[in-house]
Amino acid sequence: MSPDAFNNLFSLLIGFAVAGALSSGYQAMLRRPAGFGLLQQGVVAQSFAAIPFLVFAAPFIIMRNILLGPRTEGRRRAEFVMLATVLAGTWSMMSGTVLLMALHAVGVIA
């Protein structure tokens, strides 16, 4: 495996791990799942505080919504699952890359 491919895979995995940890921590503290509805509170400080949280937690929320949502609707279309997986994977890779760059800038990793 080339170093670039390994770096991209590591960014993807770190992005999903952080997204899952943030969403699980939110659910453990507030006893309700995190979702994009956090942005629909109007123009208040909580909506602005939710933006950085959702930037990093979005891959987990997208995958949870696409996999658990059709249980209530009765069917799951493969095209939507594929599109959501690609979207969440891309988002996870971008957020994982940002996290790794931040850790590198602080000096935590070499």
The whole-number pLDDT of residue 75 equals: 65
pLDDT single digits (tens) 34-82: 998 888 877 777 778 888 999 999 999 999 988 887 666 666 678 888 9
Statement: residue 91 has pLDDT above 90: yes
Taking each helix axis from N to C end, the angle separating 3-30 and 45-73, rounded to the nearest 10 degrees, works out to 100
What's the pTM?
0.85
Statement: residue 109 has pLDDT above 90: no
The whole-number pLDDT of residue 70 equals: 67
